[in-house]
């Protein structure tokens, strides 16, 4: 019986290994194929029957990707926009999160319920009425929208800070308050120095959100003000509307390299963000 059990479990673990390995290859294949296609010529991209490997790797696609549109201008726009959203956002979300975590006053739960509801609503569905409202105020086309969004605090980041600050023992702030520290002083002198991981997590989440966002710039920005994703999706076209597919792919490869690097070194921050937003402890 036990002998049979042993072989059965060894067999099943081999099968699990094989299944996982095949799935992992399937998950990596799209990325591999994508890079391969970015090295093909325009003719090779539309050839029938399809070609697997490019005959000669077209590294000039990458050069063309950088020159066909003003790549670095749009990259700069994207980075500026990301920082304009992230830096004030980090500041205000941590203060709001702190208030929600460490105060027990009337009306707090009601306000926090609003945060939770906002958390559930997809941003796009608010952006459409926001456009009409901002157009009325003459804000459309300006980066200050991102600044306002940042100051308002993204509900997810408020929630993440609130979760993190909830875990500190009450004695910590009681002692500080006895020593004459103000409530805001508790946050900046005691909590912030102990909270580096959550600040890094929210910084990355927030920065990468704007870096990858497509609908925000499509709705609120236009022309040369727009960000890299939108510029790439519309810019790699020759006169008669033919899309330069492999050049576009090359542009996107350059665009996601920083993300892959951040992912390689900061995977634990992604995981932390996901797990504390779902209420699980890693």
Partner 1 sequence: MLSALRKKIGRDTLTFYLLIAPWIGMFIFLNVFPMGYGFYLSLTKFDGITPPRFIGIKNYLKLTADYRFINSIINTLKFTALNVMASLVVSFLIAVLLNRNLRGRGLLRSIFFLPYAIPVIATVFIWKTLLNRESGILNIFINFIMPKFSANFLVDLPVFSLISMFIWQSGGSMIIFLAGLQNIPKELIEAAQIDGAHEWYILRKITLPLMSPVILYQIVVGIMLSFGIIVQPILLTSSPGAAFTAFLNQQPPFQNFFTIIYAFQQCFTNQNFGYGMAIVWVMFITMVLITFLFMRVIRGLIYYEYD
Query: Is residue 118 a contact point for partner 1 (CB under 8 A)?
Result: yes
Sites for partner 1 among residues 20-59 (CB under 8 A): 20, 23-24, 27-31, 33-34, 37, 40, 44-50, 52
The count of chain residues that interact with partner 1, using the rule CB under 8 A, is 104
Q: How far is the CB of 83 from partner 1 (least distance, A)?
A: 17
How far apart are the C-alpha atoms of 4 and 6, rounded to whole Å? 5
Query: Is residue 152 a contact point for partner 1 (CB under 8 A)?
Result: yes
Which C-beta is closer to partner 1: that of 67 or that of 166? Answer: 166
Burial of 8 (0-12, 13-18, 19+ CB in 10 A): exposed
Query: Is residue 18 a contact point for partner 1 (CB under 8 A)?
Result: no
Query: Is residue 67 a contact point for partner 1 (CB under 8 A)?
Result: no
237 strand-pairing partners = 243
Q: How far apart are the first and last CA of the chain?
A: 37
Query: What proportions of the chain, in percent to the nearest 5, are helix, strand and coil?
Result: 80, 0, 20
Query: Would you state the structure tokens that stand for residue 160, as one six-digit string?
Result: 């993440």
How far apart are the C-alpha atoms of 80 and 89, rounded to whole Å? 14
Query: Is residue 147 a contact point for partner 1 (CB under 8 A)?
Result: no
Query: Is residue 3 a contact point for partner 1 (CB under 8 A)?
Result: no
Which C-beta is closer to partner 1: that of 3 or that of 52? Answer: 52
Query: Is residue 166 a contact point for partner 1 (CB under 8 A)?
Result: yes
Cα atoms in the Cβ-side hemisphere of radius 13 Å centred on 263: 6
Contact with partner 1 (CB under 8 A): which of 12, 14, 222, 224?
Answer: 12
122 Cβ contact list (under 8 Å, min separation 6): none
**Phi and psi, residue 242, nearest 5°:** -80, 130
Q: How far is the CB of 30 from partner 1 (least distance, A)?
A: 5
Task: Please report, for residues 95, 133, 139, 189, the alpha-carbon distance to residue 180 in angstroms, rounded to integers and kept in the order given.
Answer: 20, 45, 44, 12
Going residue by residue from 227 to 266, which x/- string records binding to partner 1, judged by CB under 8 A? Answer: --xx-xxx--x--xxxx-x--xx--x--xx--xx-xx---
Contact with partner 1 (CB under 8 A): which of 6, 121, 175, 194?
Answer: 121
207 Cβ contact list (under 8 Å, min separation 6): 82, 83, 86
Q: How far is the CB of 192 from partner 1 (least distance, A)?
A: 14
Going residue by residue from 168 to 207, which x/- string records binding to partner 1, judged by CB under 8 A? Answer: ---------------xx-----------------------
Q: How far is the CB of 168 from partner 1 (least distance, A)?
A: 11
Query: Is residue 159 a contact point for partner 1 (CB under 8 A)?
Result: no
Which C-beta is closer to partner 1: that of 63 or that of 271? Answer: 271
């Amino acid at each position: 019986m036990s002998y049979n059990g042993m072989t059965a479990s060894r067999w099943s673990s081999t099968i699990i290994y094989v299944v996982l390995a095949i799935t992992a290859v399937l998950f990596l294949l799209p990325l591999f194929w994508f890079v391969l296609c970015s090295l093909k010529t325009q003719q090779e991209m539309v050839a029938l029957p399809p070609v697997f490997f490019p005959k000669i790797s077209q590294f000039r696609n990458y050069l063309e990707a950088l020159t066909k549109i003003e790549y670095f201008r749009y990259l700069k726009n994207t980075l500026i926009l990301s920082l304009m959203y992230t830096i004030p956002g980090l500041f205000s979300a941590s203060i709001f999160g702190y208030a929600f975590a460490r105060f027990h006053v009337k009306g707090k739960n009601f306000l926090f319920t609003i945060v939770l509801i906002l958390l559930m609503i997809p941003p796009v569905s608010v952006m459409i009425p926001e456009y009409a409202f901002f157009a009325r105020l003459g804000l459309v086309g300006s980066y200050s929208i991102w600044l306002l969004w940042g100051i308002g605090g993204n509900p997810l980041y408020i929630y993440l800070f609130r979760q993190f600050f909830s875990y500190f023992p009450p004695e910590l702030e009681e002692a500080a308050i006895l020593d004459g520290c103000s409530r805001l002083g508790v946050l900046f002198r005691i909590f912030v120095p102990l909270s580096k991981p959550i600040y890094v997590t929210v910084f990355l989440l927030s920065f990468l959100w704007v870096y990858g966002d497509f609908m925000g710039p499509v709705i609120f920005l236009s022309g040369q003000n727009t960000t890299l994703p939108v510029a790439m999706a519309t810019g790699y076209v020759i006169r008669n509307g033919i899309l330069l597919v492999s050049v576009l792919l090359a542009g996107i490869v350059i665009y996601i390299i920083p993300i892959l690097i951040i992912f390689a070194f900061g995977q634990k921050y992604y995981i932390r963000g996901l797990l504390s937003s779902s209420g699980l402890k890693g």
